[in-house]
Amino acid sequence: MKAAGHQAVFGGSFDPVHFGHLMVAEMLAELESLDEIVFMPAARSPHKRASGAGAADRLAMLRAAVRGNARFRVSTVELRRQGPSYSIDTVREIARQTGERPVWILGGDALLELHLWRESAALLREARIVAYARPGFEAAARRARELGVAYHAGVLSPLSSRELRARARRGYSLRYQVPEAVRRHIERRGLYAAGRHP
């Protein structure tokens, strides 16, 4: 991995990855002068219920989504680890590999729940948090100031993976909301269809 000043980790379930994720990553790369964004799909988030798609499908969709962007990369570090995916464990693993303090990207919704995360105080010390806005979570800006973390109010994703899963369950199109390769994967695999489980 590159030095942390030029690389940031963007973790999440990515269930599914959508254009909002990609837009946020591209904008933060420019604003924070980052050479690389590493998308880190969680094996199992300790903060969310079971994913709508399995790890293999989420990984395949992510790889398809970032293909063609030299600044984007996908890591399987958390997918290879047993049990829930705790960010502090990943931060420490990256720090061991690079010898640097990692940059960690969070949405405003996650920032407001950061106190519930495992070793949240250590995470704030051991990683440089960069947060972006999420609709309906305006309190995140104040929380970012309190925690002393970077917050980009102008970087805002209107899309939600949960809402996209709900659309898919109702049989609605995901066109123009996810990359075409991701949409085709979802349709081919029948992901998020009503009554389907990973």
Q: Is residue 198 part of a domain?
A: no
pLDDT digits (tens, 9 = 90+) for 121-171: 999 999 999 999 998 899 999 999 999 999 999 998 889 999 999 999 999
Q: Is residue 195 part of a domain?
A: no
Question: Which residue, 46, 73, 198, is CA-closest to 186?
Answer: 198
Overall number of domains in the chain = 1
Q: Please state, in angstroms and as integers, the Cα–Cα distance from residue 27 to each residue in 22, 52, 97, 120, following that order.
A: 9, 28, 26, 26
Q: Is residue 62 part of a domain?
A: yes
From CA 114, how far away is CA 111, in angstroms rounded?
5
Q: Is residue 197 part of a domain?
A: no
Greatest Cα pair distance in the chain: 47
Give the domain range for residue 49.
4-189
Percent above pLDDT 90 for the chain: 82
Q: Is residue 132 part of a domain?
A: yes
Any idea what the CATH number is for the domain that residue 144 is in?
3.40.50.620
Q: DSSP 3-state assignment of 174? A: coil
Q: Picking from 78-87, 93-102, 153-162, 189-198, which range would have the lowest pLDDT averaged per residue?
A: 189-198
Question: Residue 32: which residues within 8 A CB-CB, separation 6 or more?
Answer: 8, 103, 130, 150
